Amino acid sequence: MTMGLGLAACASPKPALTNLPTPAPVAKPVFTAEQAKALATSECLACHGPVSTPYYPTLRGMSAEEIALALRNFKSGTKTGRVMPQIVKTMSEEQIAKVAAYLGGQSG
């Protein structure tokens, strides 16, 4: 049995956490238009086709402003839904704005 050895290793003193270099400020992640397009085509348009179904309304014909407003309202809870509140929960304001800008006014 090497149990004793394992325990001894665990009990070894931890390296001191002082004098570590100050981490560089983390740049705010940028959500690019490319990423917005990828998210819109892989996620949003998987459910939102060109024609509304009984379950999924189409986004066709909605402007970027209307889509962004709907997403913000799902996020704040002013607009209710079975699906969207969960989806927008993880989206940042930047993501909402850019995905809406991509989807708004496009024909698909």
| Residues engaged in binding ligand HEC (CB under 6 A) | 39, 43-44, 46-48, 55-57, 59, 67, 70-71, 81-84, 87, 99, 103
Q: How far is the CB of 73 from ligand HEC (least distance, A)?
A: 9
Long-range contacts of 84-89 (CB under 8 A, 24+ apart): 87/43
Query: Measured from the CB of residue 105, what is the shortest distance to ligand HEC in angstroms?
Result: 13
Do 71 and 101 contact (CB within 8 A), yes or no?
no
Least separation, in Å, of the C-beta of 102 and ligand HEC? 9
Extract the tokens encoding 36: 């917005």
